[in-house]
Structures are given as C-alpha cells and as structure tokens.
Amino acid sequence: MAIDILMPALSPTMEQGKLAKWLKKEGDKVKPGDVLAEIETDKATMEVEAVDEGVLAKILVGDGTDNVAVNTPIAVLAGEGEDLATAAANAKMPDLVAAPAAAPAAPVVSEAPATVPAAPAAPQVAYDAGAEVPAGTEMVSMTVREALRDAMAEEMRRDGNVFVMGEEVAEYQGAYKVTQGLLQEFGAKRVVDTPITEHGFAGIGVGAAFTGLRPIVEFMTFNFAMQAIDQIINSAAKTLYMSGGQLGAPIVFRGPNGAAARVGAQHSQDYAAWYSAIPGLKVVMPYSAADAKGLLKSAIRDANPVVFLENEILYGQSFPVPVMDDFTIPIGKARIHRQGKDATIVSFGIGMTYAIKAAEELAKEGIDVEIIDLRTIRPMDIETVVASVIKTGRCITVEEGYPQSGVGAEIAARIMENAFDYLDAPVIRVTGKDVPMPYAANLEKLALPNVGEVVQAVKAVTYR
C-alpha cells in the first residue's frame, strides 16, 4: 500500500512551516533513515527522514513552498512491488491553505474531566496528640540534641540500611554535637564524614536511597543546603511521581534551620516555607525534645524524602521525654500545646517559644489562648487548626521565616477556605521581618519576631 509522507512538526506549537527543499526526487529508492527533505520554521530547520522502505512515487508539495500545515501529505511512497503510477494517481493533492489536517491517529483521550479532579479529601477530625504517650509513662529530662542523637542511634540499631552522612558527623562528633557517639557505636561505614560538598553528597544520598538504603543526610545548616536544593527537589521529591510509583527515595535531610544568633544574613534563613511548597516532600519542624525524637524516628522509617528542620538555639533546651521502647510520633499531626478559648496561636519549631511566653503573659490579663504546635509543615494538619479556630474564632500565626509566601500565609489562606464563617477577626501573621538578617545585636533583635508582637497580635484579634 502506498504510504503518505506527512509534513512533520518541529515542536508541539508548530502549526505550519516551509518545505525548503527535496533531497530525493520522484522515482528514487529510499531506505529508512534517508533524508528526504528539509523543512524550516522561523526558529529551526529539520530533516524529514524516511521511516519506511520504498520508492518516492510522487511529490505533492514542491521545493520552497511556504505555510505547509503540519500533517499535510507532502509525498507518496510506494511500497515494494507496488505500481508507481497507481500510487501517484491515487494521491490527493493537498489543499495548502486549509487548516492543519487532523493528526492521522488522534490520541485516545480519556473522558476529559470538566474540572481538575479534586485532591483526595483529608479526614475532618482533629488529631488527639494526648494519646501518644500512655498515662503513667516515666519521663526523663533530655535536650533536643540528645533526643535527636538517640532517635538516630535507635533507628540505626534497628535497621542496617540506615546510615548518616554529612560534614563533621563522625570524628568531630557533629558540628553541633548532634551525632555524638554514633561513630563509636556504628563505625565509619555507617557514620560517614563527607568533604564540604553539599550538592555532591546530597545527590549521593539520593542515589543510595534509590537503591533502598535509608540515608540520613546532615547539613551543617540548611543555609548550606541551597547548594543541594536541586537534588532535594528535582531528584528526591519528584522521582516517585516521574517513575509512575516505581522508584522512591527514603531519605532524611536534617540539620539546623533558621537563625542562630549573630551569624548574619547568609546563615540565618528559615526554609520551612520553601520546602513546604513541594509535592513529594514531607517537611517536619519539631519544637520539643520528645517531638524531635518521635518525629525523627518516624522520618527515618518513612518511605518518602523528609526534610527535617531543627534549630540550633533549641538544641540545648531540655524537655521531658517519655521512656518507651519504641516512641514514635506520626508525621502530619499537630499537637495542641495549650488548651484555650479566646484565640488560637499556630506555630512550630522555635516560633513556639514566643507563643508560649505570650500565652503566659496574656493569661495574666485574663486572655485564654490555645496554642497549636504544627510539628509537621507538610502534609499540614489543617483539621486540628480549623477545629480550634471554629472554637476560638480568632487566629494568629508565629514563625521566624519571611512574611511573603510564608507558612503563616498558607495557614491564613486555608482558614479562609475552611472556616471563614467562624472568624471574628482577620488572621494576623507574626513573622520575621522582610529583610536579610542583620548582624548588629539590636537590629537582629528587631528582625526576629518577639513575645510583645505576639501579645499585641492576640490583643488585636480579641479587640482588647
């Protein structure tokens, strides 16, 4: 059977082009791969190659023809043993000014949905974090630093596929001593000192995770992880989706995030909002030692990439931690830190320190606030937030990150979408200021949120 050779498209947006010249003439034998003709658009040129074997029976569109619509037949190829004259005679001359011919095999389109399908709905019931630690469990006081170390050690004992890599994690015992003692217990194979090369070792971690190992990649601080953000987002977060579910990266990226003290603009940035924007990542930011331990253990066991944001100032703070054989906290569940009825404060990580002090001050003035510690930024436990706002009618958010497109902005939007009718005042965001972090002590203090701002915000929404 004669085969129509069609005008090809150089790009998905091309509708027509010029048939610059024919390199074969009628009657020529052609083999697959032979260049038949050249076509041009204003931005590119392309060769039309033969795909089938045969004889060029008839050229339908001549050299130098402009505005040839994509998928227009430009020539007819006669198959082996076929009569040339018949093939040529049967060919229909194309109408060059017509609209582009329909694609010869229109893609089989599934029932086109009128609207984008809705994302799976989340449960509407607020989570009860109170059940995480059974009543009567013995508690010990422990720093966040020790809790994180214990979480890693316990998971490394449990699973030989878990290893830690990063700068100064082994012999130096951790730049912030979070990995203290791990080298001694697990050896250099599982506690790996890397060169100062974030982009490279983040990629190595992701590659190892593709094979099923469970790397914990420590960044000395998340400020340095900007060098590695391509591997975190493009390789770790997206591969499961791009592979149709075949290949994921069970990896934890952890380290201190946000401002420490007096370290200047490049070492003082909060990345919670950045990573929380990315589907395919989980983002955890604990405040207390118990949450740090329980959530890090869950993160290491999680089959997905988890960005685990710690805080240098919190490392040395002590909290009660339950003495349990295997204490884990589910990712994606907020904790009501303090019950109250007048206003809801939503915070996470070090933001909680401002929220808690503000609540104490406000209590003295008879204002009873509820504090929600989000703990996980993505997936966000918006049900717990909404349930609280329905009760209090007022909400403020507290974070050290920037205001624009921050986590607080996201919470405010979700509250509008889910609890607008319950609001008695606009949501107020208390955030870091919209400036690079200054070095001078007084300016740095001004750039960070403070307890006074939180108190003021709560008074504003409660009209006091």
Contact between residue 332 and residue 123 where contact means Cβ atoms under 8 Å apart: no
Active site residue 337: no
Phi then psi for residue 59, to 5 deg, are: -95, 125
Contact between residue 346 and residue 385 where contact means Cβ atoms under 8 Å apart: yes
Window 274-293: residues binding another protein (CB under 8 A): 279-280, 282
198 vs 256: CA distance, rounded Å: 14
Annotated active-site residue in 155, 167, 198, 312: 198
User: Strands 73-78 and 3-6: what pairing?
Assistant: antiparallel
Q: How far is the CB of 80 from another protein (least distance, A)?
A: 11
Nearer to another protein, 160 or 316 (CB): 160
As given in the structure block, the two tokens for residue 368 are: 């009873």
Annotated active-site residue in 146, 154, 267, 310: 267
Q: Which of 3, 59, 71, 259 binds another protein (CB under 8 A)?
A: 71
8 counts as binding another protein under rule CB under 8 A: yes
| DSSP three-state, residue 54 | strand
Q: What is the DSSP letter of 376?
A: E
Nearer to another protein, 204 or 390 (CB): 204
235 counts as binding another protein under rule CB under 8 A: yes
What region does 463 belong to: left with phi over 0, alpha with psi -120 to 50, or beta?
Answer: left
Q: How far is the CB of 29 from another protein (least distance, A)?
A: 14
190 vs 197: CA distance, rounded Å: 18
241 counts as binding another protein under rule CB under 8 A: yes
67 counts as binding another protein under rule CB under 8 A: no
Active site residue 198: yes
Cα torsion angle, 100, 102, 104, 108, sign = positive
81 counts as binding another protein under rule CB under 8 A: no
Binding mask 176-205 for another protein (x = CB under 8 A): -------------x----xx-x-xxxxxxx
| Beta-carbon count within 10 A of 119 CB | 7
Among all residues, which ones are annotated catalytic?
Answer: 198, 267
Q: Which residues bind another protein (CB under 8 A)?
A: 6-12, 32-33, 43-46, 48-49, 51, 70-71, 103-105, 107-111, 113, 116-117, 119-120, 163, 189, 194-195, 197, 199-213, 230-231, 234-235, 239-248, 279-280, 282, 303-304
